[in-house]
Chains A and B, each alone.
Chain A
Amino acid sequence: MNITVRRRLNITITVMIGAILVLVFAVYDASLYQGPFFTGWVLLAVMGFLALFHLRKKITVLPLGSASTWAQLHIYAGWLVILLFAEHVGWRLPDGGLEITITVLFVIVVVSGIVGLMLSRILPPRLTRRGEEVIFERIPAFIAELRNEAEDLVLESARETNSSTISDFYLRHLSSFFSGPRNRLRHLFASGQARFWLMNEIDNMQRYLNNRENEYADRLRDLVNKKDEMDFHYALNLALKAWLLVHVPITYSLLILAVLHLVVVYAFGGGVS
């Protein structure tokens, strides 16, 4: 199925389910049943289902449906759970320490999920369109290679040209740049400022170089560009992974507190019909 068609279909189904749920809750409420108990159970069930996606991703050896189908269900059930939560708390900010904590965690999970979804749609095309594909775990090794290459180049230039201009420049502007991944936020927000600045500095330095030194400077410029590519891939790959470090642990904390909330409600609710 075409992705656009699938998206439209999923949105339509989600909106319809949402509308039906709102209607059911309203009818339930009008019948003078205790609405929050009903909405609470539905909310907990959907949150549990959302958390199952993480489990599905871990159990890849069993034919439990494709992860992409699960991901679609996760995304749209995720939108639905916002509605369910709002219905459950009565469209107002809750009071009580536990409830506020749950709300804060819920907001963090929702926001991190939305950010993750956006990142996973925006960043891959950017990664595709710049430089070679690099495996994230190998980037530090590539950077180390580039650093060694740059340092060898600088030492050679000092030895062969009897001039310290390039090596001084390296110590002043580049040694920190080559020491590890740099400019993560700038790359994440598509800013070329850091690279522009370094290129500008190299241009400025080249005024004071003779032809021989300029050859070394050009090679150093290439290495700076390659390192910048690595930084770019590192920053975007890291962002694609990092949001899950917020989303997943907080989800489990949220679930634990939600169960605790349930126990408390049943323990002190009294006269629950």
Chain B
Amino acid sequence: MATGVAIQRPERWDNPFSPDMSESEVDRIMDLDMFRDMDTSKFSETVSLRDIIRNDTRIRHYKLGDIIVRTGDYGTTAFLPISGHVRVILPPSELSETLLGRSELPKKGFLAALGQLWRNPKLPEVRDPDRYAAGRDTGTRTAEGAEKLTFLRDVPAILEKFNTKKIGPGVLFGEIAALTRAARTTTIFAEDDVELVEIRRQGIRDIRQRVDSFRENVDRLYRENSLKNNLMETPLFHHLDDGVLDKIADATLFETYGDFDWHVSYNRYLESPPHERLAMEPVIVHEGDYPDGLLIIASGSARVSYRVNNGQKTIRYIGPGALFGFEEIAQNWLEGTDKIIPMQHTLRAVGYTDILRVPTSIIETHVLPDLPKFMFPPPAERRPAEVFHPFEERGRFKRAKAIPKIDTDTLEVLVEHRFIKGTSTMLIDLDRCVRCDACVDACAKGHNNNPRFIRHGRTFDHYMVANACMHCVDPVCMIGCPTGAIHRNAEGGQVVINDDTCIGCATCATNCPYDNIRMVEVRDEHGVFIVDGETKKPIVKATKCDLCIDQPGGPACQRACPHDALQRFDMEDRPPLARWLNRR
């Protein structure tokens, strides 16, 4: 029998959303229209509706002007007003970046960039204290539980200037972004004193699974707002008209795998042996299964592997928009029912994966008959077991041999460490790096003498993935920022932090599984620490790589390396990465 340190097995609700939730509050929520009519018998004894409400919801209070959700932010919760009203800014109108607590950084000109060489302060993390004190269109207040909230100072002006819609008690909002892990599509703020129930994703998911009317409503909203757009982005469906797309959308299933909060257990996951790590990744499709549907990755990432004795060999990873199973479906359709081939590979969720499953019959009826010939994959017998690139990517190359490949060992490391989520992952070839720190020095020069990354990080083979922000495709650091200080730049998509509105809560730094965000204590030009007027504690700010967003010429680190040792990669775009890895 195995021995070890005995602990109580972790349970679903060890960490309730709000530890202060009282039974009377649970009763109040249960009595709301949305929950009152739910059939409680659909819930199991271990996961009852009351349990979900007790553990996955909390009551929030907002005052006039408080921003509840912000467009572009990533959130994991939905909101249900109990009393009071909120206002939705109706797209396409949108609050300015500064009103949302974000920065609008203009690119530096030639002289301003050059001036940094002598104007940069000698001391680290110098800030101008007057800048923080300057009046802004938004303010920050401390709400219940010491939580910081950002509020709009001039609500009447905003109501006058922007097209808005009022939402009153009983109308759920934010559930699609929470479920699909997509960025919020609009900004919502309190129009008066508002009391809301905030429901976290796990709760929404459980209710959706058990309550038909809730699921139908959420799915309807998803189909209306997002699904068709997702389908239209798939090259396979480009030749289809609106009517057929509607039919496909109606038949498409939305499935979710893995753990949205994967970043919380990331370090524990890495400490496990490789076979256990693999077992932690939920299987979406098994090798050998009947291909019952075309899978489209809606969000997240997935590992494609095939069995080798008792192990699994990773051959590629796929991300949003990628297809899985098309080759098998197309071949079965071409060859008829006599020679049905099963799924050739296993698909696993890496962290979390949202899937759109279009049934095979729909593909066979509506897509394949009119599909251009060049979009059909080659027959299975001419395909090697190790298909490194999906067929849509292979189409970019004339000859199969011309496709650059990433060796399996490298793939395994990139996938299991989740480096594949980066859109600007910094890789250093240690066989070429002379450790001169020219990259670090260049970074510092562009950031007031403060390097925003460390030439240190996980290594594999002769490569290092440096501790530099990877600007993830689905940045978990952006979840929960109370002021919207960490955000995606509207133009380039870089994940940046607005120093003026960062309140130093460290939510982003805690969320980042790669330790790429650093909290720093700031000081004035004389080196005196800037402190909170009341508590006298140092003011802390979150800092990270911003890809030199305000510098002419882009990331200085990459341009500064004289030995071609450092490159930043969008990990979804594998051919450049493969070429770089094989460039000897």
Residues of chain A having any CB pair with chain B under 8 Å: 1-4, 57-63, 65-68, 70-71, 119-120, 123-125, 127-129, 133, 135-136, 237, 240-241
Chain B residues in 8 Å Cβ range of A135: 435, 455-456
A133 touches B552 (CB 8 A): no
Q: How far is the CB of A13 from chain B (nearest CB, A)?
A: 18
- 22 residue pairs of the A-B complex, CB under 8 angstroms, read A1-B583, A2-B583, A2-B584, A3-B584, A57-B560, A57-B562, A60-B438, A60-B445, A60-B446, A61-B113, A61-B445, A61-B446, A62-B113, A66-B558, A66-B561, A67-B562, A71-B563, A124-B434, A128-B430, A133-B456, A240-B434, A241-B436
5 closest cross-chain pairs (CB), A and B: A63-B553, A60-B442, A71-B562, A128-B430, A67-B562
B435 touches A67 (CB 8 A): no
B442 touches A128 (CB 8 A): no
B433 touches A124 (CB 8 A): yes
A128 touches B116 (CB 8 A): no
Q: How far is the CB of A226 from chain B (nearest CB, A)?
A: 18
A60 touches B560 (CB 8 A): yes
B114 touches A62 (CB 8 A): yes
Q: How far is the CB of A74 from chain B (nearest CB, A)?
A: 8
Count how many chain B residues have C-beta atoms less than 8 Å from C-beta atoms of the other chain. Answer: 37
Query: Across the two chains, which residue of chain A brings its CB closest to B466?
Result: A133
B560 touches A67 (CB 8 A): yes
Query: Across the two chains, which residue of chain A brings its CB closest to B431?
Result: A125
B398 within 8 A of A: no
Docked pose: A57 CA to B584 CA in angstroms: 25
A68 touches B459 (CB 8 A): no
A60 touches B583 (CB 8 A): no
Given A3-B583, A62-B113, A62-B552, are A125 and B462 neighbors across the interface (CB < 8 Å)? yes
Q: Return the contact of B559 from the options A3, A63, A120, A136 (Cβ within 8 A).
A: A63
Docked pose: A135 CA to B110 CA in angstroms: 33
* Binary interface encoding of chain B residues 442-467 relative to chain A, with 1 for a CB under 8 A from any of its CBs, else 0: 10011000000001100100101000
Of B456, B559, B584, most buried by chain A (CB within 10 Å of CB) is B559
Q: How far is the CB of A125 from chain B (nearest CB, A)?
A: 5
B537 within 8 A of A: no
Query: Across the two chains, which residue of chain A brings its CB closest to B584?
Result: A3
Chain B residues in 8 Å Cβ range of A127: 430, 435
Docked pose: A142 CA to B462 CA in angstroms: 23
B117 touches A61 (CB 8 A): yes
Q: How far is the CB of A136 from chain B (nearest CB, A)?
A: 6
Chain A residues in 8 Å Cβ range of B431: 124-125, 128
Chain A residues in 8 Å Cβ range of B436: 240-241
Docked pose: A34 CA to B559 CA in angstroms: 42
Docked pose: A133 CA to B438 CA in angstroms: 17
Q: How far is the CB of B119 from chain A (nearest CB, A)?
A: 11
Chain A residues in 8 Å Cβ range of B110: 62
Docked pose: A65 CA to B583 CA in angstroms: 21
Query: Across the two chains, which residue of chain B brings its CB closest to A58?
Result: B117
Of B113, B441, B562, most buried by chain A (CB within 10 Å of CB) is B562
Given A60-B446, A62-B553, A135-B455, are A237 and B562 neighbors across the interface (CB < 8 Å)? no
Residues of chain B having any CB pair with chain A under 8 Å: 110, 113-114, 116-117, 430-436, 438, 441-442, 445-446, 455-456, 459, 462, 464, 551-554, 556, 558-565, 583-584
A128 touches B462 (CB 8 A): yes
Docked pose: A70 CA to B560 CA in angstroms: 10
Q: Return the contact of B562 from the options A4, A62, A70, A124 (Cβ within 8 A).
A: A70
Of A1, A63, A123, most buried by chain B (CB within 10 Å of CB) is A63
Docked pose: A70 CA to B563 CA in angstroms: 10
Docked pose: A12 CA to B438 CA in angstroms: 29
Given A60-B446, A127-B430, A135-B456, are A68 and B117 neighbors across the interface (CB < 8 Å)? no
A67 touches B456 (CB 8 A): no
A133 touches B464 (CB 8 A): yes
Given A61-B446, A63-B559, are A124 and B553 neighbors across the interface (CB < 8 Å)? no
Chain A residues in 8 Å Cβ range of B462: 125, 128-129
B562 touches A136 (CB 8 A): no
Docked pose: A129 CA to B430 CA in angstroms: 9
Docked pose: A5 CA to B113 CA in angstroms: 35
Docked pose: A259 CA to B584 CA in angstroms: 41
Docked pose: A46 CA to B442 CA in angstroms: 26
Chain A residues in 8 Å Cβ range of B558: 66
Identify 11 new A-B residue pairs, CB closer than 8 A, beyond the known A60-B441, A67-B562. Answer: A3-B564, A61-B114, A61-B445, A62-B114, A65-B559, A68-B563, A120-B563, A124-B433, A133-B456, A135-B455, A237-B435
B117 touches A4 (CB 8 A): no
A136 touches B435 (CB 8 A): yes
Q: Return the contact of B459 from the options A66, A120, A133 (Cβ within 8 A).
A: A133
Chain B residues in 8 Å Cβ range of A68: 561-564
Q: How far is the CB of A103 from chain B (nearest CB, A)?
A: 28
B561 touches A67 (CB 8 A): yes
Chain B residues in 8 Å Cβ range of A123: 434
A59 touches B114 (CB 8 A): yes
Query: Across the two chains, which residue of chain A brings its CB closest to B556?
Result: A60
Chain A residues in 8 Å Cβ range of B459: 128, 133
Query: Across the two chains, which residue of chain B brings its CB closest to A71?
Result: B562
Of A1, A3, A62, A120, most buried by chain B (CB within 10 Å of CB) is A62
Q: How far is the CB of A108 from chain B (nearest CB, A)?
A: 21
A60 touches B584 (CB 8 A): no
Query: Across the two chains, which residue of chain A brings its CB closest to B557?
Result: A60
Chain B residues in 8 Å Cβ range of A2: 583-584
Given A120-B434, A240-B436, are A59 and B559 neighbors across the interface (CB < 8 Å)? no
Docked pose: A58 CA to B551 CA in angstroms: 16
